[in-house]
Chain A
Amino acid sequence: MYYLEHIWMIPLFPAAGALLMLLFGKRLSNAAVSVLCPGMVGVSFFFSLMAVLQLPSQPEHRFETVLYTWLPGSLFHMANGQTAHFQADWGFLLDPLSSVMVLVVTGVGFLIHVYSVGYMAHEGGFYRFFGYMNLFMFSMLTLVLANNYLLLFVGWEGVGLCSYLLIGFYFLRKSATTAGNKAFLVNRIGDAGFVLGMFTMLSVFGSLRFTTVNEQAASGAFSVGDPTITVMTLLLFVGACGKSAQFPLYVWLPDAMEGPTPVSALIHAATMVTAGVYMIARSNALYVLAPQTMAVVAGVGAFTAIFAATIGLAQNDIKRVLAYSTVSQLGYMVMACGVGAFGAGIFHLSTHAYFKALLFLGSGSVIHALSGEQDMRKMGGLSKKIPTTTVTFLVASLAIIGTPGFSGFFSKDEILWRAFTTSVGNGWLLWGVGFVTAGLTALYIWRLVFLTFFGESRVDHKVAHHIHESPRVMTYPLIVLAALSLVGGWIGWPQALGGSNHFEHWLEPVFEPAARVLLAEATHEAAHSASQEYLFMALSVAIAGFGLWLAYTLFLKRREIADRLAVSFSGVHRLLANKYYVDEVYNAVFVEGVAKGGGTALGRFDSSVIDGGVNGSAWLTRLTSTVSIWWDTWVIDGSVRAGSFGVKALSYPVRLLQTGLVQAYALFIVVGVLIFLSYYLVR
C-alpha cells in the first residue's frame, strides 16, 4: 500500500532532478549529473513498479488519490441547462492502462537516460540536456498518471514544451530551432482541438475526471451516435493527431529529428508521441458512442500508416527513415483504437516503445561511431566494426516487421486481426492497408539495415579510422531493449496460439464499457474461426518475409536493380523522396498564404491603426506644443518683456542726465547750489 499511496511522488523525482539541473546544473560536474538524472528516473521506475505490483489488491484494479483541489469549484450551466460544479484536482489515477504507460515511460526512459550519459558525453550543455530530459519525464508522468483531462493537458503541454526545447537543443543550428518552432506550432493546432474538446466535455458531463466521464458515458444516458459526443471526440482526436503525428499534422515529427538522437528515441518514438493514442484509449467509453468518429480515427490511422511507410522507402537520412517509420507505426496504433481494439493499440504502443527506442538508440550508436554522419549513402559494412549495435539493431528490425516470436509480431497481428473483424468500418480495406504497410515496413527497415550494416563500406576515409563500438554505458541499454523487443510481446501471447494474453486481460477493466457497447453494436456475430486467424498470421509473416527478401535483393545483392528502378520510375521516386511535397504545399498554403494574405491585411492594419495611433499622438503632441509655444511667447515672455520695457521707459528721462561729461556734472552742481542759494535769498 505504501507505494500506491505515494504514486504522486513518481513524477516528483524527475521534477526535482530537473529543478536541480536548471538551477545549479552549471556548477555540477558531468559525473554528478550523469548519476543524478538517470538515478531520479530509476527511482521513479522503482516506485512505479512497486505501485503496479500492489495494484491487484485494489477493487477493480484501480487506485485514485487526490493531492489537493487545484482549481476550486465554481458553478456553471451545462448544455442541458443543469448547473454543475467545475473543479480540477491535482489527482492521480493508477489503473491497468496507466500502469502500462507508467512502466513503459519510466522503464524505457531510464534506459535512454543511461544511454544518453554516453551519447552526450562530448556535447556542450550536458546538464541542460539532462535537465530538459528530467523535465520531460515529469511532464510525461503527470500526463499518464493524471486523473482528469485538465491535469492530463498540463502534462500534454509540458511534454510539448520539452519536445520543443530538446528539438532545438543545438540552438546554434538554424534548422534545429526552425524544427523546434515547427513542432511547437503544429502541436498548437492539435492542442486547440483538444481544448475545445475539453470545453465540450465540460458542458456535456460537467466534469473532466476520467472516472466520472466514463461512468456517465457508459451509463446508457447517451445513445450511440450522439452528435455532441461525435463532435467532442472528433475535437479530442484533432489533439491526438497533433501529438501522435497523424495525417495531416504529422509534418513536425520528421523534422524533430534535428534533436539529439536519445531525444528522438525517448520523446519522438517511445513516449510523447504515444500520448495521443493513450488519450484515445483513455476516452474509449466516449469513442465507442461515436461510430463516425471511430471510422475517421481508423481511416486517418490507416492512411497515415501507409502514407508514411511509402515516404520512408525513399529517405536517405537514417533518422528520417525511422521518423517516418514511427509515424507509420503510430498510424497502426490509431487505427487499432479506431476499430475498437484499444487493448491492441496499447499493446502495440508498448512493444513499439521497446523496438523503436532500440532502433533510434542503435542509429544513434551508428551516428556516434561515424562521428555524426547520418546519410545512409555514406555508410555500409558496419556490422563487423560495431557488432553489439548491429546485433541489437537486427533484433529490433526483426521485431518491427513482425517476425514470429518477436514482440512486434504479437501486437501487429493483433491489430490486423482486429481490423479485419471490426464492426466499425470496412474490415477488408483496413486490413488490406495494414497488410501492405507491413510489407512496406519490412522493405524500408531492411533497406536501412542493408545499406547501413552490410555491403561494401561507403564511409569517408577520414571518418573510417574513427569507427568504434560505443561505450558500455550505451550498449547495455541497447542489450536490455533488445531483450525486451524479443520477449516483450510474450505477455500478450494470443489465445489462438495457445497463450492466455495476459496483457489483454490486465487491461480489460479499463476497456470494459467500450467492449460492452461494441458487442451490442455488432450486428453480425463474428464467426471468425481460429483457422482464419492462423491464415492471417501466415499472410502477414509472408509479406514481411517478402519485404525482407526484396530489400535484400534490391539493396544488398543487386543494387543496380534498385538504381535502375529509381531511374525508370524517377517521377515516383522524386515524389517519395520529397515526401509528397506536403511540406511545400503547407508552406505555400499556410506559411506563404498567411505571410502574403495576412501580411497585406496586417500591413494595412499596421499602417492605418498602429501608425495611425502613432501619427495621431504625434499630431496631438504637435498641437499641444503649438499651444504651449503661443502661451510661452505671448504670456510668459510677454510679461517678462513688459516688465523690462516698463523699467526701461521709466528710466529713460533719468538716463539722459548721464552724459559722462565731467563738466556737465559740474554744471549740475553749480546749478543746484544756485537754486539752494536763491531759495534762501528769496525766503
Chain B
Amino acid sequence: MERVDVYPTHEHNGYKLRVGKPFPFGATFVPGGINFSIFSSHATACTLVLFDKGQLQPKAEIPYPLEFRIGNVYAMTVFGLDIENTEYGFRMDGPFSPEEGHWFDRSKILMDPYARSIGGRDVWGIVPDWNNTYQHRARLVFDDFDWEHDRPLEIPIEDLVIYEAHVRSFTKDPSSGAKFPGTFAGIREKIPYLKQLGINCLELLPIYEFDEFENSKVHPETGEHLIGNYWGYSTMGFFAPKAGYAATGKLGMHVDEFKALVKELHRNGIEVMLDVVFNHTAEGNENGPYISFRGIDNKTYYMLTPEGYYYNFSGTGNTLNCNNPVVRNMVIDCLRYWAAEYHIDGFRFDLASILGRDPWGAPLPNPPLLESLAFDPILAKCKLIAEAWDAGGLYQVGSFPAYGRWAEWNGKYRDGIRKFLKGESNLVGEMAQRIQGSPDLYASRGPTASINFITAHDGFTLNDLVSYNEKHNLANGENNGDGANDNESWNCGWEGPTDDPEINALRKRQMKNAVAMLMVSQGIPMILMGDEVARTQHGNNNTYCHDNALNWFDWKQVESNAEQLRFFQHLIAFRKSHPVLRNRWHLSNQDRVGSGYPDISWHGTQAWNADWSDSSRVLVFLLCGKHARGGLVADDYVYVIMNMHWEGNWFHLPGLPSGRLWHIFANTGMPTPHDIWKPGSEPLLDDQGGLFVGSRTVAILVGK
C-alpha cells in the first residue's frame, strides 16, 4: 500500500523535501525518503550536505528552510535518495568565539553524532586521502538483519566469567590461522576456543568507530609507524561499529557482520559486553580536529572552563558534558540503540566517574545520567559496570553512585591480590574481605557489585606481573613516562626472560596461584585475553599504540603453554560447577542453616585457627556447601589454602560431616598433570587429616 500522507512540499535544486520529524535524531528511513534530524542550541542555521559514496566533492547542499526548525532541532525529509550510495554531513552557521564556548565554522562539514555507520576508514590501516575535507562521513544502515530467535542471554551476573579482549589483537597474528584475521568474523572463527576455555562473557575493548590514524607517531628504536590509538579509547561516532574491524568493512556490511558475531556468540552461550567511552571524544582539545561535536554545538557537548578552555578529566584533551540533559539523552539513546538493535548484554563504562560530574566538573551526589541509566526500561536487564575512577582524581570504588544496579571494576581487589601474591605482610585481613566479594565496600549491595580482576588491558599481563618489577614502555615513545608505576608486581628473582628453571617454575606457579584465588572469590571474575596462555608484552604495561605482535594473541602459545591453558580451563569449569563460589549475597560467617558449619569460616595451618597477625602470609577458608545460594542449593564443601609464605607447611584439615571425604582438586605446587583435575574427577586425599602445601602455593580441596 502506497502511503499518500507523506509527500514533498518543498524543492531545492531538484531535491524534493518535506518538514521532517524531530525524533529520532540522526538519519532514519521514512516512506519514500530519509529523515535528517540534528540538534544545536547555538547554531543560527544548518545545511545538509550530501555526497555520493567516496566522492571528494559534495553532490548537493540543501539548507534547512527556516520553517524546518522546531526549537533547537533541524528536521528535514529528503525524497528520492540512493540509500546504498549516500553519505551525508552538516554545515552549521553560528558564532566563532571560543571564549564563549562557540566554535562554529561554516567551512567545515560535520558528522552526525547519531551516525550509525561511518565511512572513511573502511579498511584498517589504509592511508586516507588527506585532500578529503570530510574525512569521517555519516552513512545509512539497514535494519534487515535476521536475528531469528536470538535475544540477550540474561545470564545472572554472579555466574559470569568475563574475558576482556581486543577485536583486532585476538586474531590478527598469522598464527591464528583465521580466514578473516583481526575482525569480527575472525572472532567467530575462534568461538570453539572460547567455549572450551569456558568463559561465558566476552568484553570487547571499544568497537565504536575511531580513527587509527589519530596522533600517530614513530617507534623510537625501529622507526616503525605507531598507531596513536590502537585500543580505541577515542570515539568518533558512538552509534557506529568500526568498519575497519570488519572483514566486510569495505563492502559497508560491518553492521551485519557485528550482529552476526553477537548472534553466534549467543548461540554458544556467551554474552557480549561492550566497553563504552562516554568520557571524551576524538576531537581532543583546542588543537584537535573538527569531526562532529565541536562544530555542531561545542558548548553543549563539552565541559568548558569559564574562559572557554576544555576541561580535561579524561587525560585525553576534552571531557564529554554527560550531565547536560541533551548529552545525557544522547548517551541513553546510544546505549538503548546497542541493547535493542545489537542485542548487547552489558556495558563497561570507561572512566565512569566522569559521568557523575556536573557541567563544571564538580562531582554530583545524585548524577542524573547514572540514575537514568540505572532505571532505564530498555537497559533494565543489561549489566552496567563502572570503571569507578577518572583521570581527574575522583576515585569512587565502593562509593560509585550505584542505585543498586551498577557493578564496579574493583581496583582494590586487584591491588590486594597482587600484594598478597607477592608475599607482602599485613594483608590477610584485606584478603578476607576481597575473597568474600568485598563486603567492606559493598555491604548493602552484595558480591555482585564487585568485578574481581587481577589483570586488564591497562597494566601488566599476568605473565609480566610475575616477570617484571618495573614497567618497560620505551617502545611507546614517551620515555617510559607513561603507564602506571604502582604495579604491585614481583619478578620472582630476575627482571624479564631468564633460563633459570627455578625462577621460571615459580613464575608458572604464581600465575596459577593468581587465577586460582580469582576463581574462588565471591564476586564476578574477569580475565585478560591471553593470560590463559601466559601472553607477554615484554614488560610494557601500556601498549595502547602497538598494532603488532606486542599486542596480538600468539596462537602458538596455545600449544607451547598448554599446561597453563589446561589449568585455566579446569579452574573455570570448577567455578561454574560450584554455586557455593557464586553467591548473590554476602556470606555471614555464621551457620544459618544448621549444618554445623558457618557459611564461610577461616583457618590456618591448624583448622579453625586462622592467623590474622600482621606477619601472616597464610589464609585458608572453608565454604560450607549447605549454605550455597543462601541455603537454597546443595553443593560440596570447598577448602582453599593460600600459602603465600616462602616456606611450605603442613595444613591440618577440618573434619567433614559423615559421608563426606576430602578430595584434592588443585595444588599449584604439583607438576602437571597433578596440578589440577577435571572437576568431578578429583582424587581422594590419602590422609584425610591434612596435607603438605609447598611455599607460595594454593591448594583447593573438595569435600564430597
Partners in one complex: no
Residues of A bordering B, CB below 8 Å: none
Residues of B bordering A, CB below 8 Å: none
